[in-house]
C-alpha cells in the first residue's frame, strides 16, 4: 500500500481468546487464493457468489459494535494530522470542515457552506453553529484555523502538510467572527475545499496539539473512553452530537495482527467487523457462506498499479511505456486477478465512480506495442516485475499481466520479494514493480501528490513540465466545465505518457457480522452515526 502512514505492524493482540489462539495460523487462505485467482476460470461466478451489498434493514438503538483492526506501531495516537494516527477511531471522534458525500461530490460537515472570490485565491467558510466538543466547549472559527495551523506545523510532521503548504500560509488565516474562516491562498485553487476532506484534516480544539493524541476530543458522534496504542480501546455515544445521538451505545476496538485471526474472530462471533482488511476471495467465500458473518463490498476502493520508473532504462523511453500499456488487456487482468470484482483501469488513475473520470482511453493493441518496441530498439523486451505477498492481489495481478503481455512479445519475469521489506527495498527502487493505493483522494490531490514532478509520492519519478502546467491551469480555472476539461486532458496525458500502468480498481471485500445494519463506507471510513446492530 503506497499510503505509508497506515501500514500495520504486529502487536497488541488480546489474550485468552480465539483472536490470539488463531494468530499463528495465518497464510493458508491467502495461499489458496493465489491458486484460484490466477487460474482465470469461473471469474464471474466466484465474484457473483460474494454479496455485493451489506445486509439491508434498520438497526436497533443501542448495543456495542466490536471491531478487529490491524495494529499500528506502539507510537500510534489519536491526532488525525499525524502519520501515526489510529485511523479507525478518527471518524468516530471527529468531524471535518468538508467531507465527501456518497455521490463522490463535496458535502457540508462543520462548514455549512463555502465560496471563493472571483479568482479562487481567497476562500470563505461559513461554519455550523451549535456544535460542541466532547468537553463542552463550543466549536468556533478559532478551532478551524488552529486545525490548519497544526497540520502545517513542521513539528506535527503531517502527511497532508505537503499538500496544503504550497497553498496556505498559516499566518494569513483570518477569523472575522466566531463562525467565519477566511483562507487566503498563495496561488488560485478552484478545488481547495476538496483538499480538506482528507483524513488528516479532522477538526480539533484550539490549542490542543500537544494533548489531542491522547484525549481524542472532537465533535464526532462518539467520545473517547480508553485508548491503548496498538491495543484495545473504547468510545461511547456522544448524546450532544450536532447531528443527533448515534445509533450505537459504544464501539470496542481490538488490535489483531493476523488477517486470518481477524477472520476467525468474526466467524466465531467475537467481533462484528474487520477493519482495514481487504479479504482475499477464498476467505471472503468462507465468510459469506457462514451463518454468523457476511461480506460488504466497497466499489473500486483500491487502485492497483504497476509503476515503471521513468528514470531507469528501458522505461525512460516513452515508446516503451506506451508499449507496456498497449501490450496487455486490462479486462483480462481484472478477470484473472480479481475474478471481475472491480473495474478495468485502462491506465487511468481516476476511478470510474469519480465525478472527474473520463472514459476515453487507448485500446489494447499488442501489434502496435510490438511496433513501438521495435522503434525503440527493444524488440523482444524482457524485464523483471517485482511483487510480494504484502497484499493478496499483487502477485495475481503480476502473473495476469505477464500472461497478457506475451501477445506483444514481452517476456515478463515475475520476481517475488519479501513482504516485510517490500516497501523499503523494492518500491520506488526497482524499474518495474507492483503497488496499490486506497481510492478516495480528490482529483486535485491525486494528480498533484502522485504525478507532479518531484512529489515524494510520485512512485514512477515521472517528470513532465507540460503536465505540471496543465494541472496548475486546472487549479486556477473557476469555470467548472473548463476545469473538468483540463482534468480530463491531464488524465489522457497520464494514460499515454506517464509511467503508471493501472490494470484495475478492486472492490474491497469487508467482513461483517450478519447482525450489522446501516454499513456504508467510503475510503475505509464508514457511517459511524448510522451504523448499528439488529436486535441490540
Cβ contacts of residue 479 below 8 Å, gap of 6+?
none
CB neighbours of residue 42 within 10 Å: 13
Look at residue 235 and give its three-state secondary structure: strand
Query: Rounded to the nearest 5°, which phi and psi values hold at 389?
Result: -90, 15
CA distance 309 to 430: 7
CATH number of 288's domain? 3.40.190.10
Query: Does residue 185 sit in the same domain as residue 316?
Result: no
CB neighbours of residue 242 within 10 Å: 17
Picking from 149, 170, 205, the residue at the C-terminal end of a domain is 205
Which pTM does this prediction carry?
Answer: 0.82
In a domain, 38, yes or no: no
Confidence at residue 27, expressed as pLDDT on a 0 to 100 scale? 31
Query: Does residue 311 sit in the same domain as residue 438?
Result: yes
CATH number of 304's domain? 3.10.105.10
Strands annotated E in 308-452: 342-344, 382-387, 411-416, 435-438
In a domain, 41, yes or no: no
CA distance 432 to 447: 21
Radius of gyration (Cα) for the chain, nearest Å? 23
Picking from 170, 205, 240, the residue at the C-terminal end of a domain is 205
**Which one, of 277, 131, 297, lies nearest residue 217 by Cα?**
131
In a domain, 62, yes or no: yes
Cis preceding-peptide flag for 314 (omega within 30 of 0): yes
Confidence at residue 524, expressed as pLDDT on a 0 to 100 scale? 60
In a domain, 42, yes or no: no
From first to last of its 536 residues, what are the pLDDT tens digits of the chain?
Answer: 445 433 332 222 222 233 333 333 333 223 332 233 333 333 334 555 777 777 888 999 999 999 998 876 788 999 999 988 998 999 999 999 999 887 778 999 999 999 999 999 999 999 999 999 999 999 999 999 999 999 999 999 998 998 999 999 999 999 999 999 999 999 999 999 999 999 999 999 999 999 999 999 999 999 999 999 989 999 999 999 999 999 999 999 999 877 788 999 999 999 999 986 678 788 888 999 999 999 988 889 899 999 999 999 999 999 999 999 999 999 999 999 998 889 999 999 999 988 899 999 999 999 999 999 999 999 999 999 999 988 888 999 999 999 999 999 999 999 999 988 898 899 999 999 999 998 888 899 899 989 999 988 899 999 999 999 999 999 999 999 999 999 999 999 999 999 999 999 999 888 999 999 999 887 667 899 999 999 86
Strands annotated E in 308-397: 342-344, 382-387
CA distance 240 to 223: 10
Query: Does residue 262 sit in the same domain as residue 357?
Result: no
In a domain, 211, yes or no: no
Cβ contacts of residue 18 below 8 Å, gap of 6+?
261, 264, 265, 268, 270
Query: Does residue 403 sit in the same domain as residue 486?
Result: yes
CA distance 62 to 536: 6
CATH number of 143's domain? 3.90.76.10
DSSP structure class, residue 373 = H
Confidence at residue 35, expressed as pLDDT on a 0 to 100 scale? 30
CB neighbours of residue 240 within 10 Å: 15
Domain count, the chain: 3
Confidence at residue 48, expressed as pLDDT on a 0 to 100 scale? 54
**Which one, of 337, 496, 341, lies nearest residue 403 by Cα?**
337
Task: Classify the phi-psi angles of 12: left when phi > 0, otherwise alpha if psi is within -120 to 50, otherwise beta.
Answer: left
* Burial bucket for residue 16 (CB in 10 Å: 0-12, 13-18, 19+): exposed
Query: Does residue 192 sit in the same domain as residue 129?
Result: yes
DSSP structure class, residue 423 = I
**Which residue range forms the structural domain that includes residue 113?**
100-205
346 near 504, Cβ under 8 Å? no
Picking from 205, 232, 249, the residue at the C-terminal end of a domain is 205
Look at residue 412 and give its three-state secondary structure: strand
Task: Classify the phi-psi angles of 453: left when phi > 0, otherwise alpha if psi is within -120 to 50, otherwise beta.
Answer: beta
Look at residue 195 and give its three-state secondary structure: helix
In a domain, 215, yes or no: no
**Which one, of 102, 466, 157, 494, lies nearest residue 310 by Cα?**
494
Query: Does residue 117 sit in the same domain as residue 191?
Result: yes
Query: Rounded to the nearest 5°, which phi and psi values hold at 351?
Result: -70, 155
* Parallel, antiparallel or unpaired: strands 293-307 and 500-513: antiparallel
Confidence at residue 283, expressed as pLDDT on a 0 to 100 scale? 86
Query: Does residue 274 sit in the same domain as residue 340?
Result: no
Query: Does residue 125 sit in the same domain as residue 62?
Result: no
Confidence at residue 422, expressed as pLDDT on a 0 to 100 scale? 92
In a domain, 113, yes or no: yes
In a domain, 39, yes or no: no
DSSP structure class, residue 252 = E
CA distance 310 to 316: 4
Confidence at residue 536, expressed as pLDDT on a 0 to 100 scale? 64
DSSP structure class, residue 153 = -
Confidence at residue 535, expressed as pLDDT on a 0 to 100 scale? 80
First to last CA, the chain: 36
Look at residue 68 and give its three-state secondary structure: strand
Query: Rounded to the nearest 5°, which phi and psi values hold at 194?
Result: -65, -30
Query: Does residue 379 sit in the same domain as residue 397?
Result: yes
CA distance 254 to 19: 9
**Which one, of 68, 66, 480, lies nearest residue 274 by Cα?**
68
Strands annotated E in 143-292: 174-177, 180-184, 222-227, 233-237, 250-255, 273-274
Query: Does residue 310 sit in the same domain as residue 327?
Result: yes
Query: Does residue 81 sit in the same domain as residue 180?
Result: no
* Angle (CA) 75 80 82, round 5°: 50
Query: Does residue 468 sit in the same domain as residue 391?
Result: yes
Look at residue 246 and give its three-state secondary structure: coil
HSE-up of residue 382 (Cα within 13 Å, Cβ side): 1
CA distance 150 to 282: 44
* Parallel, antiparallel or unpaired: strands 250-255 and 233-237: antiparallel
Amino acid at each position: 500500500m503506497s499510503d505509508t502512514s497506515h501500514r500495520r505492524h504486529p502487536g497488541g493482540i488480546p489474550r485468552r481468546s480465539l483472536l490470539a489462539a488463531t494468530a499463528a495460523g495465518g497464510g493458508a487462505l491467502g495461499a489458496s487464493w493465489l491458486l484460484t485467482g490466477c487460474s482465470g476460470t469461473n471469474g464471474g461466478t466466484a465474484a457473483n457468489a460474494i454479496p455485493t451489498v451489506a445486509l439491508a434493514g434498520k438497526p436497533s438503538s443501542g448495543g456495542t459494535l466490536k471491531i478487529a483492526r490491524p495494529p499500528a506501531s506502539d507510537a500510534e495516537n489519536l491526532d488525525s494530522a499525524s502519520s501515526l494516527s489510529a485511523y479507525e477511531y478518527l471518524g468516530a471522534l471527529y468531524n471535518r470542515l468538508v467531507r465527501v458525500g456518497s455521490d463522490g461530490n463535496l458535502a457540508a460537515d462543520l462548514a455549512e457552506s463555502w465560496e471563493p472570490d472571483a479568482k479562487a485565491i481567497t476562500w470563505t467558510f461559513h461554519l455550523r453553529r451549535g456544535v460542541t466538543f466532547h468537553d463542552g466547549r463550543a466549536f468556533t472559527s478559532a478551532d478551524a484555523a488552529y486545525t490548519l495551523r497544526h497540520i502545517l506545523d513542521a513539528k506535527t510532521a503531517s502527511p497532508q502538510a505537503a499538500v496544503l503548504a504550497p497553498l496556505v500560509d498559516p499566518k494569513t488565516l483570518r477569523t472575522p467572527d466566531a463562525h467565519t474562516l477566511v483562507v487566503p491562498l498563495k496561488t488560485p485553487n478552484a478545488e481547495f475545499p476538496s483538499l480538506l476532506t482528507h483524513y488528516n484534516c479532522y477538526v480539533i480544539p484550539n490549542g490542543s496539539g500537544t494533548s489531542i493524541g491522547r484525549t481524542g476530543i472532537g465533535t464526532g458522534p462518539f467520545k473517547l473512553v480508553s485508548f491503548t496504542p496498538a491495543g484495545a480501546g473504547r468510545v461511547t455515544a456522544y448524546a450532544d452530537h450536532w447531528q443527533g445521538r448515534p445509533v450505537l451505545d459504544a464501539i470496542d476496538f481490538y488490535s489483531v495482527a493476523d488477517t486470518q485471526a481477524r477472520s476467525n474472530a468474526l466467524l466465531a462471533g467475537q467481533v462484528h467487523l474487520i477493519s482495514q482488511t481487504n479479504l482475499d476471495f477464498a476467505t471472503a467465500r468462507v465468510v459469506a457462506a457462514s451463518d454468523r458473518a457476511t461480506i460488504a463490498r466497497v466499489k473500486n476502493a483500491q487502485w492497483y498499479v504497476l509503476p515503471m520508473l521513468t528514470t531507469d532504462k528501458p522505461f525512460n523511453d516513452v515508446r516503451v511505456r506506451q508499449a507496456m500499456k498497449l501490450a496487455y488487456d486490462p479486462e483480462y487482468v481484472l478477470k484473472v486477478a480479481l475474478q471481475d470484482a472491480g473495474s478495468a483501469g485502462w491506465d487511468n488513475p481516476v476511478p470510474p465512480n469519480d465525478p472527474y473520470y473520463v472514459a476515453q482511453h487507448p485500446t489494447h493493441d499488442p501489434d502496435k506495442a510490438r511496433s513501438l518496441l521495435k522503434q525503440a530498439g527493444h524488440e523482444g523486451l524482457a524485464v523483471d516485475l517485482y511483487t510480494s505477498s504484502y497484499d493478496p492481489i499483487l502477485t495475481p495481478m503480476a502473473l495476469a499481466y505477464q500472461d497478457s503481455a506475451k501477445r506483444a512479445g514481452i517476456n515478463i519475469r515475475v520476481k517475488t520479494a519479501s513482504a516485510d521489506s517490500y516497501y523499503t527495498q523494492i518500491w520506488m527502487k526497482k524499474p518495474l514493480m507492483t503497488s496499490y493505493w486506497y481510492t478516495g483522494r480528490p482529483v486535485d490531490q491525486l494528480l498533484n501528490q502522485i504525478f507532479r514532478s518531484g512529489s515524494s509520492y510520485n512512485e514512477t519519478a515521472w517528470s513532465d513540465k507540460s503536465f505540471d502546467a496543465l494541472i496548475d491551469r486546472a487549479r486556477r480555472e473557476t469555470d467548472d466545465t473548463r476545469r473538468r476539461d483540463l482534468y480530463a486532458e491531464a488524465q489522457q496525458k497520464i494514460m499515454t505518457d506517464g509511467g503508471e500502468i493501472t490494470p484495475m480498481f478492486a472492490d474491497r471485500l469487508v467482513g461483517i457480522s450478519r447482525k450489522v445494519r446501516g454499513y456504508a463506507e467510503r475510503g475505509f471510513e464508514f457511517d459511524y452515526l448510522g451504523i448499528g446492530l439488529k436486535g441490540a
